[in-house]
Amino acid sequence: MSGAVAVLPTKYCMNAAVRAVVRMGIYVKAKVYFVYEGYQGMVDGGDNIVEVSWESVSSILQVGGTVIGSARCKSFRTREGRLQAAYNLVQRGITNLCVIGGDGSLTGANLFREEWSGLLEELAQKGQIDEEAVKKYAYLNIVGMVGSIDNDFCGTDMTIGTDSALHRIIEVVDAIMTTAQSHQRTFVLEVMGRHCGYLALVSALACGADWVFIPEYPPEEGWEDSMCVKLSENRARKKRLNIIIVAEGAIDCHNKPITSEKVKDLVVQRLGFDTRVTILGHVQRGGTPSAFDRILASRMGVEAVLALLEATPATPACVVSLSGNQAVRLPLMECVQMTQEVQKAMDEGRFVEAVKLRGRSFENNLNTYKLLSHKKPDAELPMTNFNVAVLNVGAPAAGMNAAVRAAVRVGITEGHKMFAVIDGFEGFARGKIKEISWGDVGGWTGQGGSILGTKRTLPAKYLEKIADQMRTNNINALMVIGGFEAYESCLQLYEARSCFEEFCVPICVLPATISNNVPGTDFSIGADTALNAIVETCDRIKQSASGTKRRVFIIETMGGYCGYLANMGALAAGADAAYIFEEQFDIRELQANVEHLTEKMKTSIQRGLVLRNENCNENYTTDFIYQLYSEEGKGVFDCRKNVLGHMQQGGAPSPFDRNFGTKISAKAMQWISKKLKETYRKGAGKIFANTDDSVCLLGMRRRNLVFQPVAELKTETDFVHRIPKEQWWLKLRPLMKILAKYKTSYDVSDSGQLEHVAMHSPKEAETGAI
């Protein structure tokens, strides 16, 4: 990469992205500049374009918004403004721009790149720069990162800032639900999203809202009657509150606005319900960034620098984005054009096409919400005569209840009788099983822990009793939601099929554990909530040292032998080191870490953070590391330790866990229905499923949701330590070290390659991209 790099935020963005670009840029030995106040600062020049150091981006991870400011700029829209901006960049040798913004900002950046050589020629003609400068700075490379809380940019599953905005919305919804329940009220919540309904849709999915209005999917003619009937039915089922979510840009099928006040007046006039309106406004833009956003922004920032390193004059301007769990690079203008196509489709009333253009993630969210929000009359439901049981196994994880709710409601919609098993396989053996209805799971999405109750007991010692209960209750399929124990349990049932025909039924495992140690999936339900709890605590601990000079904190996280929480928590909290079982360490490395922190204390950053996974090493315990750091750092820094413990398992589920749990559970139940049809033997009048692919774990792998036979996952599993043999997040470990100023090599083999934006095909939808 020739020339310096400039970081330019033009919109609400994440400081984690700014920090990652600066530190990765310095790591590859480039000069890095801040452009204060967006394009305006680039045009004005002077003190608005400043070279930055490693320490310039210290302590900004936990700060919302952008520390280098952002402003709208009319002058950059003129050629004269762009000419001045080009002059200011050339004066500092800047030929690489990392722009963080929305489609307008990124379109402006692309135009600037296209005009660059012409702008330099004009500056040379005016005598402002010489011919040598024209040759030396002949090309401008641009990489975009999308910073937008609306998640309105095509080509990426999540824009930087969206998850944090969802956190703010869900915090408000959870708080409102308690008061609404007390007073039997209806609440109409207006959320941001002038042209995109993502925030409204996902928050409706995450809180189980009764109705949602979004611009991409206007309600049908006569929606007023349908909505009022549904609200009345819910009240008749003893539901004490109603939540209606309205995107600020919501419209009807005639493109006329639907406002929160209009919805409130309708409910009051037609039903006489006590109704309140809450407009969240700019609350959604503020607050502390979520763990997901910090990790996403850090990954995208590093990816942006790698893209600039590899850029050539022939490379089109690109945006780095997220597809499933994979970083990808897409041509900037293809994404912008598709984003503009969505608005055009909505303006022309082509709403089905608009939803498809938004991408597979948006469409899946919408389909899942429609499936779960409205119960068809019993007369319209199919009758399959199949009984499906749902149970939780292992330690509780936030989001389990959302998964149970989705399973029950989709199962009922598919025509099955749904049964809930209390207290896992132990409860199953004792006959603690009951039928569960649509209304029984109302309000479950926001509840932490496990309402059904869960035990770590494996089925091996109860096989006969469990088989007996399955026969007695005529259970035709099982959905098991839990961690490593759930996976092991289903393996045991699979292996016991030769002795017990009752286990020859479709069985699906949904990974749900804070440890994220289940083979066959990149993410588990509950891990995001635990990660947020860790990061929030780390922020507070770091803040406690702001008035105390030179202090290092040793923090122990859970996770068994899996270092996911320690590693990702360290990345999201800006830690100096993370000790994990998967990467063995010795006394020399501990000594090197102490020396690294000693050097750090000589700078203006006078505090340190070290995370340790609970089982990373049986001899180097948290106490040992604390005592070592205390002794070796004597006179330079003092030490404190903190064991986070079970607070990582508690709390309300994060928006990601509610959404992820809901969507994978709905998909799993549809798979169970398909398997029941395939394995039903008409002659015998019963289900007989004895193939490997009838006992599957549904996991997210890179970009897709995949059903994998548990028998095949055995080879991928380290049963002694209860972890997968290969774990995707270990590739992010060097990233954490680089951002903490360690010299290490970074594997670029997994970095994104330039792809093209394409509308997903029906086949892609079947593979289950989330």
The helix/strand/coil state of 720 is coil
Contacts of 567 (CB under 8 A, 6+ apart): 578, 580, 611, 729, 730, 732, 733, 736
Dist CA 754 CA 160 (whole Å): 20
Cβ atoms of residues 552 and 515 within 8 Å: no
Amino acid at 533: A
Closest CA to 436 of 477, 393, 389, 480: 389
- Catalytic residue at 150? yes
Q: What is the dihedral of CA 45, 48, 51, 54, to 10 degrees?
A: -160
Secondary structure of 7-62 in the HEC alphabet? Answer: EEECCCCCHHHHHHHHHHHHHCCCCEEEECCHHHHHHHCHHHEEECCHHHHCCCCC
Cα atoms found within 13 Å of the Cα of residue 630, Cβ hemisphere only = 10
List, as residue ranges, the binding site for ATP.
Answer: 72-73, 102-105
Phi, psi of 677 (to 5 degrees): -65, -40
Give the H or E element holding residue 596.
Answer: helix 587-600
Catalytic residue among 44, 150, 522, 576: 150
Quote the crossing angle between the two packed helices 564-573 and 527-544, to the nearest 10°.
50
Phi, psi of 488 (to 5 degrees): -65, -40
List, as residue ranges, the binding site.
Answer: 72-73, 102-105, 148-150, 185, 192-194, 248, 276, 282-285, 456, 513-517, 551, 558-560, 614, 640, 646-649, 722
Dist CA 578 CA 575 (whole Å): 7
Secondary structure of 204-235 in the HEC alphabet? Answer: HHHHCCCEEECCCCCCCCCHHHHHHHHHHHHH
Other C-beta atoms closer than 10 Å to the C-beta of 240 total 15
Dist CA 697 CA 509 (whole Å): 5
List, as residue ranges, the binding site for Mg(2+).
Answer: 103
Give CA 596 to chain center in angstroms.
Answer: 32
Amino acid at 46: G
The CA-atom distances, in angstroms, between 234 and each of 211, 227, 366 are 11, 11, 21
Give the H or E element holding residue 87.
Answer: helix 79-91
Place of tokens 């994880």: 397
Secondary structure of 635-673 in the HEC alphabet? Answer: CCCEEEEEECHHHHCCCCCCHHHHHHHHHHHHHHHHHHH
Dist CA 661 CA 208 (whole Å): 13
The helix/strand/coil state of 551 is strand
Contacts of 684 (CB under 8 A, 6+ apart): none
Dist CA 412 CA 701 (whole Å): 28
The helix/strand/coil state of 436 is coil
Dist CA 578 CA 556 (whole Å): 10
Work out whether strand 94-101 and strand 4-9 pair parallel, antiparallel, or are unpaired.
parallel
List, as residue ranges, the binding site for substrate.
Answer: 148-150, 185, 192-194, 248, 276, 282-285
Cβ atoms of residues 653 and 445 within 8 Å: yes
Strand order of the β-sheet with 94-101 is 49-51, 32-35, 4-9, 94-101, 141-146, 318-323, 326-331
416 burial level (CB within 10 Å; 0-12, 13-18, 19+): buried
Cβ atoms of residues 514 and 482 within 8 Å: no
Dist CA 328 CA 322 (whole Å): 6
Dist CA 656 CA 351 (whole Å): 26
List, as residue ranges, the binding site for beta-D-fructose 2,6-bisphosphate.
Answer: 456, 513-517, 551, 558-560, 614, 640, 646-649, 722
Q: Which residues pair with 5 in a beta bridge?
A: 32, 96
Active site amino acids = 150
